[in-house]
A = this chain, B = another copy of it.
């Protein structure tokens, strides 16, 4: 049978510590080249709306030690609203019942069969959080107690969960330009994490004195700047665009998630992406050779050196996600779902064939 799981199933079955532990083991396989990931691709075309583009995004990965491969697909209606001085990349929930479209298909490497199909929403933030959590685990000071969070959306929640999973965080300060959102987030996360989460009115108030700063926004403009960096700080971002120029120069050690600088972008004629235009500027203004930065996976596998002193400033840029992450977290999810009888069983024959593909 092929298992159809929902986000409710995923939320119930998969914890942040599970994902951190699973990815920590798996990233060694990835560092050694046994695990494989096909670089994410974003394919863009016009829609009938002047203010929106269609983006078909996909990424594949295989985790041999878990016997699974995964494809993660997003079918997005994208908009770029201006919000004050900055531009955000926003997905419109345009599917029936005002829903988004993201799917993970999990396959067996032994039989090829589709083991499970599930929406990507919960898993995707868990794996982003887990990756940045691993960076905190390997790079932040062991005695880090104060964390600053820029962003209070879906991704930001996972960043907070991850920081708390790997360090004894006592205070988490969160900033969003939207007062109602940051206050609701603080209330919700205080309950969920059991620590003090403070909403703050400026980004400076979030980062000043923080041992760990985590950026988790959907802006395509920088939100964290070099002048805010202080000795001993660990900084992380969920996109490279969040970091202002000179942040990489100022940091003592910078790690990337993956060597690919950008997705494989394929654009319909005439399509212009705001973030690609800005991204060009970003690249030019950075003096550091992006391709030579060490990877988080190398750090975890003991192939790269992490923080050497209490005063060093460390930085992790989750520059691009990996299909491999969905294989690993998908395998953990699938095992738990099978063990607990979760999900809907559909006949695997519906998704396989006798004709030669």
Query: Which residues of A are at the interface with B, using a C-beta cutoff of 8 A?
Result: 4, 6-7, 32-39, 41, 43-48, 54, 56, 58, 60-62, 64, 69, 71, 73-77, 91, 93-103, 105, 107-114, 117, 119-122, 124-125, 153-154, 264, 266-270, 323, 344, 348-357
Contact = CB atoms under 8 A, between A and B. Distances in A.
B351 A269 contact: no
B58 A43 contact: no
A60 B264 CA distance: 12
A350 B105 contact: no
Given A91-B356, A96-B111, A113-B96, A351 B46 contact: no
Contacts of A61: 43, 56
A96 B62 CA distance: 20
A357 B36 contact: no
A66 B145 CA distance: 54
A325 to B, nearest CB: 14
B269 A47 contact: no
Given A96-B111, A101-B353, 16 more contacts: A33-B269, A34-B46, A39-B266, A43-B62, A46-B64, A56-B60, A62-B268, A75-B107, A77-B111, A93-B354, A97-B348, A101-B112, A101-B352, A102-B353, A121-B356, A125-B355
Given A71-B73, A352-B95, A268 B60 contact: no
Nearest to A122: B355
B69 A56 contact: yes
A76 B267 CA distance: 29
Contact of A356 (B6, B32, B41, B153): B153
A95 B356 CA distance: 12
24 contacts: A33-B268, A36-B44, A36-B45, A38-B56, A38-B58, A43-B69, A45-B69, A47-B110, A64-B268, A75-B114, A91-B357, A94-B112, A95-B112, A95-B348, A96-B111, A100-B352, A100-B355, A101-B114, A101-B353, A102-B357, A103-B114, A119-B351, A125-B355, A264-B264
Contacts of A357: 74, 76, 91, 100-102, 119-121, 124
A203 B273 CA distance: 52
A113 B75 contact: yes
Contacts of A349: 96-97, 99
Nearest to A92: B112
Nearest to A353: B119
A264 B39 contact: yes
A58 B60 contact: yes
B264 A38 contact: yes
Contacts of A98: 354
A60 B34 contact: no
A115 to B, nearest CB: 10
Contact of A34 (B95, B108, B269): B269
A350 B62 contact: no
A37 to B, nearest CB: 7
Contacts of A45: 34-36, 62, 64, 69, 109
A268 to B, nearest CB: 5
B97 A111 contact: no
Contacts of A69: 43, 45, 54, 56, 75
